[in-house]
Amino acid sequence: MNDSSFNSITYTVEKKVEGNYALKRALYIIGVVLASVALCAACIIVKFLVYFTPVMFMLCIIIFKYLFIYLQIEYRYTIEHGVFTMEKVFGGKKCKKYYEIKLSELDSIVPFTDVTVQNNDTVYDSCVSIKKPTQDLYAMIKNTEGKRNVAYFEATKKTLKIMRYHNPNTVMSDNLRH
């Protein structure tokens, strides 16, 4: 069976706005508004720059829009030919590879509730909420030289089916929403 639709999947999840991420977004918006107001006020106070106030305001809006994409984070999970890739997508435009591993190298793929993270573990958490886990939250674990890599991801039935196909002994499945 060499069907590419069976052997690959792409799934995108938007980062939940909570905790430090919510604070960073709020502070960024407040900072940009205050900087825009201060810049426009400075242009009005200095009478020579009054004519540049609309230009400065538009420049602030452009800079805000350009930098805000770094606070609109999505995670894209892709499985192609037995390789799991997790990418950070900023504003739906810019991608940065976050984590990549061959499914055959994994030691276990288990629900979040079955994982205990230790001090020397390297954790790759994505947009999923570890504080409020859903039943779709899974962890991939790989042991290397006494250290564990733990990557959390939101699983779908098809994702687990493909993972089970490439590494049948490691996937422990449970009931999923989709």
**pLDDT tens digits, 57-83:** 788 888 888 888 888 888 888 888 889
User: Where are any strands of DSSP class E within the chain?
Assistant: 8-14, 73-80, 83-90, 94-102, 108-111, 122-124, 137-144, 147-154
Of the ranges 97-101, 131-135, 147-151, which one carries the lowest mean pLDDT score?
A: 131-135
Of the ranges 35-39, 54-58, 126-130, which one carries the lowest mean pLDDT score?
A: 126-130
Mean pLDDT, the chain, rounded, equals 79
The pLDDT, as a whole number, for residue 49 is 74
Residue 171 has pLDDT above 70, yes or no: yes
Residue 161 has pLDDT above 80, yes or no: yes
The pLDDT, as a whole number, for residue 177 is 57
pTM here is 0.71
With residues binned 3-state (H G I as helix, E B as strand, rest as coil), the percentages for the chain, rounded to 5, are 40, 30, 30
Residue 130 has pLDDT above 60, yes or no: no
Residue reference for tokens 């290397």: 144
